[in-house]
């Protein structure tokens, strides 16, 4: 730090020797200790902290023992003459984080046009208006901004307090969060496996699950099926709640319709609980196909045979009529086209012989 001006007319030389080069550069400094405006200085000016300095060329030249831009600080209060060092965070170059002024080694943060917005902190490094936003609102409207970080309200989380912790929007029709097949994040269900939909209640490929659960439901409810002998061991995670008919089953997407060993249909719904238990509502009444009625079937077969026979007979009769008519027409045509008549045939001789009685006089 320069404390005084060198002697008048004395110059200083600075030699610069770059590494790797033989050449050097010499810089000769000639000092101008006083400016033209020096003549108009004001001693003990009121502008320099009530007379603690001289106002020269628009700046304060402080009296001995005083420091600061306006000579407002006492040198006895500081261990160093560099007051700005106390206003630089982490020995950086920015004074008061460029958000204030250093006054006697202390940052005074600048004021904002909006009185609600303000800088804070020892180095003016914090503010309450530069936090993350959600839906064009500071901290999503669900928190406060402190030192450029959102402090969220009790029921919200996230960088911009955009995620509600309330799981009401994730409840499925069975009052389970995301139907037990997903997690609720920011008020939205993230479904697992093959489930989808707003609350993970839609399962396009759940027919496989119905087939997978079928044997346990059949053995527990009806005592039949392939797992009849091992039902207690293999199906212990199932909890069955019977209802009378399929119409009484809970209204939920996971409806199943399966066929048992007697070729009857039975119906059930399933829900996976948080403890991995499978709650099943099953209809006690099955839908079994009725046996065939033999009499209508036999009567139908006989009637069909008779009708087919009559149809064939009618077809044969029709063909015969058509054939006879064709033959008759052919005969008539040949008759009309005959060349000789019986009266014109010279060879023709009548089979009748007439004998005249010479004694017959024609009188009776």
- Per-residue pLDDT tens digits for 105-124: 788 899 999 989 999 999 99
Asked whether residue 264 is assigned to any structural domain, the reply reads yes
Q: What is the pLDDT of residues 143-182, one digit of tens each?
A: 999 998 999 998 898 899 989 888 888 988 777 888 778 8
Domain count of the chain?
4
Are 196 and 151 found together in one domain?
no
Give residue 290's pLDDT: 74
Asked whether residue 218 is assigned to any structural domain, the reply reads yes
Asked whether residue 116 is assigned to any structural domain, the reply reads no
On the 0-12 / 13-18 / 19+ scale of CB atoms within 10 A, 78 is middle
Domain that holds residue 66: 12-77
Are 195 and 261 found together in one domain?
no
Q: What is the pLDDT of residues 295-307, one digit of tens each?
A: 888 888 999 999 9
Are 223 and 278 found together in one domain?
yes
Boundary (domain end) residue, out of 77, 99, 119: 77
Asked whether residue 231 is assigned to any structural domain, the reply reads yes
Asked whether residue 59 is assigned to any structural domain, the reply reads yes
Asked whether residue 236 is assigned to any structural domain, the reply reads yes
Is the pLDDT assigned to residue 71 strictly greater than 70? yes
Are 261 and 213 found together in one domain?
yes
Q: What CATH number is associated with residue 196?
A: 2.10.25.10
The model's pTM is: 0.43
Q: Which residue has the higher pLDDT, 327 or 352?
A: 327
Are 186 and 158 found together in one domain?
no
Boundary (domain end) residue, out of 283, 303, 337: 283
Are 49 and 20 found together in one domain?
yes
């Amino acid at each position: 730090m320069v404390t005084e001006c060198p002697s008048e007319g004395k110059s200083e030389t600075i030699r610069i020797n770059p590494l790797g080069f033989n050449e050097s550069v010499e810089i000769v400094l000639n000092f101008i200790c006083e400016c033209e405006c020096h003549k108009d200085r004001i001693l003990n000016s009121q502008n320099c902290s009530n007379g603690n300095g001289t106002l020269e060329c628009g700046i304060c030249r402080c009296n001995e023992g005083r420091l600061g831009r306006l000579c407002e600080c006492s040198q006895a209060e500081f261990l160093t003459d560099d007051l700005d060092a106390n206003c630089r965070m982490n020995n950086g170059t920015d004074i008061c984080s460029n958000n204030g002024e250093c006054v006697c080694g202390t940052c005074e943060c600048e004021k904002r046009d909006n009185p609600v917005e303000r800088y804070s902190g020892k180095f003016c490094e914090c503010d309450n208006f530069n936090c993350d936003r959600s839906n064009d609102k500071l901290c999503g409207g669900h928190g406060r901004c402190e030192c450029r970080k959102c402090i969220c309200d009790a029921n919200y989380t996230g960088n911009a307090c955009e995620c509600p912790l309330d799981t009401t929007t994730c409840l499925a029709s069975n009052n389970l969060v995301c139907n037990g097949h997903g997690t609720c994040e920011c008020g939205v269900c993230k479904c697992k496996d093959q489930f989808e939909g707003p609350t993970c209640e839609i399962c396009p490929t759940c027919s496989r699950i119905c087939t997978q659960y079928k044997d346990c439901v059949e053995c527990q409810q009806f005592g039949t099926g392939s797992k009849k002998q091992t039902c207690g061991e293999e199906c212990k995670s199932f909890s069955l709640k019977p209802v009378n008919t399929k119409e009484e089953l809970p209204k939920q997407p996971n409806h199943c319709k399966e066929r048992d060993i007697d070729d009857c249909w039975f119906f059930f719904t399933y829900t996976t609980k948080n403890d991995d238990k499978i709650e099943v509502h099953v209809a006690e009444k099955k839908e079994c196909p009725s046996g065939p009625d033999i009499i209508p079937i036999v009567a139908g077969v006989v009637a069909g045979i008779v009708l087919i026979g009559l149809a064939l007979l009618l077809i044969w009769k029709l063909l015969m009529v058509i054939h006879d008519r064709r033959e008759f027409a052919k005969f008539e045509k040949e008759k009309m086209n005959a060349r000789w008549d019986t009266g014109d045939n010279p060879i023709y001789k009548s089979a009748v012989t007439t004998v005249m009685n010479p004694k017959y006089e024609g009188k009776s």
